[in-house]
Amino acid sequence: MVGALIGSGKGRAAAGFWLGLLLGIIGWIIVALMSPRGGAGAYAAAQPAVSATAAAEYQRQLKQWAVSEAIRRDPSLGASSDSATLNRLEQSAQQIMKQAEVLRMQQQALRKSGNP
């Protein structure tokens, strides 16, 4: 019964029932991890919206990584705190963030087209 309840929200009540019956708690976990039926549109609709806080945290971490990467690529950017060096560091980090965003979008497009 529990497996069917878990699976019903994903359009997989029968699979949930049988997996729960045959595998118990492990079956429930498997059903909970299964994607919803109905293709990509149904799957996207079932995904929770990203909160503004999570998006802001992602941007903060991305910028932190980009600054570290800029300094790794050009160690002189981390050696001084004068305004010219900080401006170069900011520009380099922005460029790295743009490159990372392009790569993320390309990967996302590949996943949507069915190529992993």
Same domain, 53 and 34: no
- Do the Cβ atoms of 62 and 54 come closer than 8 Å? no
Average pLDDT score, the chain: 81
Instruction: Please give the pLDDT value at position 40.
Output: 47
pTM (two decimals): 0.51
For residue 107, give its domain range: 49-113
What's the start-to-end Cα distance of the chain, in Å? Answer: 35
Of 45, 61, 77, the residue that ends a domain is: 45
Residue (of 47, 52, 96) closest to 70 by Cα position: 96
pLDDT (tens digit per residue) in 22-61: 888 888 788 888 877 765 445 455 555 567 788 888 888 9
Q: How many domains does the chain have?
A: 2
